[in-house]
Structure 1
Amino acid sequence: MAKLENETLIGYLREAFGEEISGVEEPFGLLSITTAKEKILEVLAFLKTHKDLQFIYLTDITAVHYPEQALSIAVVYHVHSLVNNRRIRIKVFLDGNRPEIPSATSIWNGANWMERETYDFFGVLFQGHPDLRRILNVDEMEVFPMRKEYPLEDPNRVDKKDFFFGR
């Protein structure tokens, strides 16, 4: 089999999903695509099971918070084809007020802890997850610390006032 190039991979995805694949980019050679949350499981299953692609290794699931956008939470999947030595990033943008997306645990068992961590830090609810609960933060925590909803520093700190530094 010839080496799998990004153009070939995009061709496979466009043939299977058409306009459901958007936001195609190649930062530093890493193919990045965007899809809808309704299609994410189909796209992931296609990448994993297609005989020429074989993206069988789920590297990571995480999220990014873009507070200035309407769809402010992006869930990001990184998958790797060990056979073709090719990686792809798949992004899904969600409403930040109620970020819900289907769980990928039906495709990869290893998605379990990655989804729990993403829930713990960003508040993304993975529908159908077998045990969605906090994994690193305390259970009583009511906020999601990786969201950009809080000031970077406490405005009431007195040790950073100018008069302490002769200004």
Structure 2
Amino acid sequence: MDKLNNQQLLQQLTDHFGEDITRHEEPYGLLTVHTNKERIIELLRFLKESVGFIYLTDITAVHYPEGENTFAIVYHVHNLVENIRVRIKVSIPVSDPKIPSATVVWAGANWMERETYDFFGVQFEGHPDLRRILNMDDMEVFPMRREYPLEDPNRVDKRDFYFGR
């Protein structure tokens, strides 16, 4: 039997999920598929149970403040037997950051989702214990959101005339 490759995996996913695979790309050889939040648990379960992606490497988020102001919830899973990885992305709006919890597929998703909640404020629906894990409990902001400027605009030590420009 041939070793599973990105094209075969993409074919299996598009055969099974059809239009719910909204787009795909292959940056640096890593297959990345985009889907919607309604089908994410089914897709993760299919990858684990039918294709052998038994290792959940990471769950995180990326905030894209320009344009649509969305979060991309990113899942990395690994098939250890075939030594192939895949990245799954789901876009959700910042105004309603809710997505189903992957703890129903992998118990280890618990802490990854808590970290993503802690830094981005993404609500993982159905999570058994969604609370802050690294920041203070009474903290009211989510530090990885790109809602604030990177530097204080009032700082004078960064002005061009100090550097001869």
Q: Same fold (TM over 0.5)?
A: yes
Partner deviation per Cα, 1:99-139 (whole Å, 9 max, x = no partner): 10000001001000000000011110000000101111111
Runs of 4+ in 1 over 4 A off after TM superposition: 161-167
Change (3 A) 1:54 1:161: same
**Take 1:33 and 1:165, find their aligned partners in 2: how far apart are those partners?**
46
Alpha-carbon offset, residue 70 of structure 1: 2.0
Which deviates more from structure 2 when the two are superposed, residues 153-162 or residues 93-102? 153-162
What is aligned with 1:46?
46
Percent identity between the two aligned chains: 67
**Take 1:69 and 1:101, find their aligned partners in 2: how far apart are those partners?**
21
**Take 2:8 and 2:90, find their aligned partners in 1: how far apart are those partners?**
22
TM-score (norm 1): 0.93
Query: Counterpart of 1:88 in structure 2: which amino acid?
Result: V
Q: SS of the residue aligned with 2:86? A: strand
* Mapped pair 1:85 → 2:83: yes
* Mapped pair 1:157 → 2:155: yes
What is aligned with 1:61?
59
What is aligned with 1:9?
9
5+ long unaligned stretches in structure 1? none
What is aligned with 2:122?
124
- Alpha carbons 2:63, 2:69 under 8 Å: kept: no
**Take 2:26 and 2:163, find their aligned partners in 1: how far apart are those partners?**
47
What is aligned with 1:97?
95
Structural RMSD (CA): 1.5
Alpha-carbon offset, residue 166 of structure 1: 6.8
- Alpha carbons 1:71, 1:94 under 8 Å: kept: no
**Take 2:163 and 2:55, find their aligned partners in 1: how far apart are those partners?**
53
Q: How many residues align?
A: 165
Q: SS of the residue aligned with 1:142? A: coil
Alpha-carbon offset, residue 165 of structure 1: 5.7
Change (3 A) 1:123 1:77: same
**Take 2:143 and 2:128, find their aligned partners in 1: how far apart are those partners?**
23
Query: Counterpart of 1:17 in structure 2: which amino acid?
Result: F
**Take 2:82 and 2:116, find their aligned partners in 1: how far apart are those partners?**
28
Alpha-carbon offset, residue 68 of structure 1: 1.4
What is aligned with 2:19?
19
- Alpha carbons 1:62, 1:118 under 8 Å: kept: yes
Query: Counterpart of 2:125 in structure 1: which amino acid?
Result: Q
Q: SS of the residue aligned with 2:150? A: coil
Alpha-carbon offset, residue 157 of structure 1: 3.0
TM-score (norm 2): 0.94
5+ long unaligned stretches in structure 2? none
